[in-house]
Amino acid sequence: MNPFLTPQQQDRLVLASRSPRRIEILRGLGFEFEIEAAPEHLEDDAAHDDPYEIARMLAVRKCEFVALTRARDRVLGADTIVVVDNTVLQKPRDDAEAREFLARLSGRTHTVVTGVAIHHRGHTATGAERTQVTFRKLTPGQIAAYVTTGEGRDKAGSYAAQGIGAGLIRRIEGCFFNVVGLPVGLLLDLMQQE
């Protein structure tokens, strides 16, 4: 159990994701939960005039999809995107796109946005966290070598802030856990909204 929430605020928690990073963060926080991943097709057609709204919208989609069959449970959905030049970089389709994403981020600052949604008793509480990440200047060889590790294949922007990908980063301004995939402070705040 998490010491910052009452037992009622964390009872019957279901994570609408199979993300190993989100699972690790929740376990590290002491949560007991089930996993029922929302289908990946919910990420299709995620367009919005405000790219920052996309992460929140996708988190709500995932959360409410799983909540349809889990009416008594507290369902948690999350989605992370990377925004640079007002363009959303989601998960790369292949290694060529991963190299393209990393070259675009090299030596620059971008924004990582994670949308979080919690559905419980017919109500969905939502929010989004933003974190600024500045990359080191990378050579094409360094980018190619990182891509071959496979670490960024299933991640927004094609990198992980933990593990080998930590070597890509010069500075993080804001919540580190947001960059990993689940902003802890926002999560706890939303779980208290009952």
pLDDT in tens, 90-148: 889 999 999 999 999 999 999 999 999 999 999 999 999 999 999 999 999 999 999 99
Tell me whether residue 79 is one of the annotated catalytic residues. yes
pLDDT at 189 over 70: yes
* Identified catalytic residue from 11, 45, 50, 79: 79
CA angle 11, 23, 120 (to 5 degrees): 35
Res 42: pLDDT: 67
Res 31: pLDDT: 94
pLDDT in tens, 31-58: 999 999 988 776 666 667 787 899 999 9
| Size (the chain), residues | 194
pTM for the full model? Answer: 0.92
Rounded to an integer, what distance in angstroms lies between the CA atom of residue 174 and that of residue 168?
A: 17
Is-contact 159 136, C-beta < 8 A? no
pLDDT-derived band at 10, boundaries 50, 70, 90:
confident
Res 152: pLDDT: 94
Res 193: pLDDT: 84
Residue in the block written with tokens 């995620």: 46
